[in-house]
Structure 1
Amino acid sequence: MTAHAHPKHKHGPHQHRHDARGFVRAVAEACESRGLRLTPLRLRVLELIADNGKPVKAYDLLDKLKDERAGAAPPTVYRALDFLLENSFIHKLESINAYVSCHHPEESHQVPFLICDECASAVEICDEGVARLLGEQAREHGFKPRAQTLEVHGVCADCAKA
């Protein structure tokens, strides 16, 4: 889908409320419609990311999986994460080496994140204009972007009040 399919994206940023169950359902539906295999392990990793509500590191996912599955090992977790990333169901926040659920798992898109350095929350801002502007700037410099993740660090409103 493009910005034209989501009118709320045309005129500026849009934030989302976290709905873990709805997110997991949307990913399952996207997998079914695309003919992708959402194995039990992939589904469980997805659920753990969704339930966390904040960015989660791979080793934290592994620790939780080890409590549930005796055979859980780093390669199995990373393969599940790779599947979820490749299909745009989650985002990787490189600056903090953590994973977060995507608010539009039915489409591939680039979004900026506001990451709080105090509480580690990450807010996905859906603003087509930001992604378009970065792409235009790259092209003006003769640069061909392959991936784009804008991560802005600071202090969220809740932490600023505290």
Structure 2
Amino acid sequence: MSDRPARPAADQGSDPAAAFQPHDHGHCSSAALDAAEARLAQQGARLTPVRRRTLEILLESPRAMGAYEVLDRLAAEGFGRQPPVAYRALEFLVSHGLAHRLQRLNAFAACLHPGHDHTPAFLICRSCDRVAEAEAAPIRAVLSDVASGAGFRVERATIEALGLCASCAADGAA
């Protein structure tokens, strides 16, 4: 880990670098869970016990998790061992903007910005597997312009960048 001081919680939501630096992850998780509950209340939906625990499991991890990893955690806590238990909860969280599915990893990560609609770009450290959300609007605008020049209209794009976070690069990860 780095010797850098933890960032204040207020910096966590807007700075993707915060995901790769020491910070009060518990505070991030608590704030995201509160925002998730508020968002669902506005949508007329709710977190059942299995959905809540699934979101908590994702929030506890700074890296994306596969559905079977989530299922193992749920099963260990008495929520059942059948794959639909995890898949239904994960599908609900993704469809309500509370989690993201990362295609490259075939995994899920909690959304740390559930209070508003957005489509982030994901920064994935190939060494420590940490994931950060970055603002994707500028990238999407360029992609749409390039596509438009080719007579193509982008309807959906998932932007995932694989690389090394500063800590892993400093530690000499190859």
TM-score interval, smaller chain: 0.7 to 0.9
Counterpart in the other structure of 1:28: 37
1:87 pairs with 2:96: yes
Q: Do 2:37 and 2:46's aligned partners in 1 also have CA atoms closer than 8 Å?
A: no
Unpaired runs of 5+ residues, structure 1, are 1-12
- SS of equivalent to 1:123: strand
1:39 pairs with 2:48: yes
Q: Do 1:14 and 1:127's aligned partners in 2 also have CA atoms closer than 8 Å?
A: no
User: Could you tell me which amino acid in structure 1 is paired with residue 156 of structure 2?
Assistant: A
Q: Do 2:102 and 2:109's aligned partners in 1 also have CA atoms closer than 8 Å?
A: yes
Unpaired runs of 5+ residues, structure 2, are 1-13, 20-24
What TM-score, normalized to structure 2?
A: 0.78
| RMSD of aligned alpha carbons | 1.8
Counterpart in the other structure of 1:61: 70
- SS of equivalent to 2:123: strand
What TM-score, normalized to structure 1?
A: 0.83
Q: Which has the higher contact order (CA 8 A, sep 6+)?
A: 1
Q: Do 2:50 and 2:79's aligned partners in 1 also have CA atoms closer than 8 Å?
A: no
Counterpart in the other structure of 1:143: 152
Deviation of residue 70 (structure 1)?
A: 5.1
Count, aligned residues: 150
Q: Distance in 1 between matches of 2:47 and 2:125?
A: 31
Structure 2 vs 1, CA of residues 106 and 144 (structure 1 numbering), >3 Å: closer, same or farther? farther
Counterpart in the other structure of 1:156: 165
Q: Do 2:51 and 2:89's aligned partners in 1 also have CA atoms closer than 8 Å?
A: yes
Structure 2 vs 1, CA of residues 77 and 152 (structure 1 numbering), >3 Å: closer, same or farther? same
Deviation of residue 133 (structure 1)?
A: 2.2
State the identity %.
34
Q: Do 2:29 and 2:112's aligned partners in 1 also have CA atoms closer than 8 Å?
A: no
Q: Do 1:111 and 1:131's aligned partners in 2 also have CA atoms closer than 8 Å?
A: no
Deviation of residue 160 (structure 1)?
A: 0.6
